[in-house]
Amino acid sequence: MNKVILMGRLCADPEIRYSQNDNQTAVARYRLAVDRIFKREGDQTADFIPCVAFGKDAQFAEYYLHRGTKIVITGRIQTGSYTNKDGQKVYTTDVIVESQEFAESKNASGNNGGGAPQPQSTDPDGFMSLPDGIDEELPFN
């Protein structure tokens, strides 16, 4: 079985291309920064995993995903190889995206559209302060 589930943030905006066949299928490529669970001093704390989405998933990436967006993807690992212009064989490993979805709200990621109200401050216990004179408007006493 070849099944991958990853959660991370996009390292950069997706690179979108369209195939040159009759269907002009969309192809999106992006790198997902996935935090490592175990961290050793001096080692990197995340892996940067190349992902490829096709068709509607690629169009979704084009319209809605951008650098820093936190997403969850499911897919499969695909390996391949090619010979570069210097005649050297290059090996590739990509995650082929089968589904992708947001892992946090727009407000949580800090992209709240500018006009949205900011959340009110809370006290140390985590409760929001009520403004004075609101007693008449509360549905309970």
Integer CA distances (angstroms), 61 to 40, 92, 137, 141, in order: 33, 22, 44, 49
Task: Give the model's pLDDT for residue 38.
Answer: 83
Q: What is the mean pLDDT of the chain?
A: 84
Give the residue ranges of the chain where pLDDT is below 70: 109-141
Q: Coil, helix or strand for 57?
A: helix
User: How buried is residue 1: exposed, middle or buried, by Cβ count under 10 Å (0-12/13-18/19+)?
Assistant: exposed
| Alpha helix stretches (DSSP H) within the chain | 55-64
CB 10 within 8 A of CB 65: yes
CATH of range 4-105; options 1.10.357.10, 3.20.20.70, 2.40.50.140, 2.40.260.10: 2.40.50.140
pLDDT of residue 114: 43
Domain ranges of the chain: 4-105
Note the pTM of the prediction, 2 decimals: 0.71
Which long-range contacts link 110-116 to residues 24+ away (Cβ below 8 Å)? 110/68
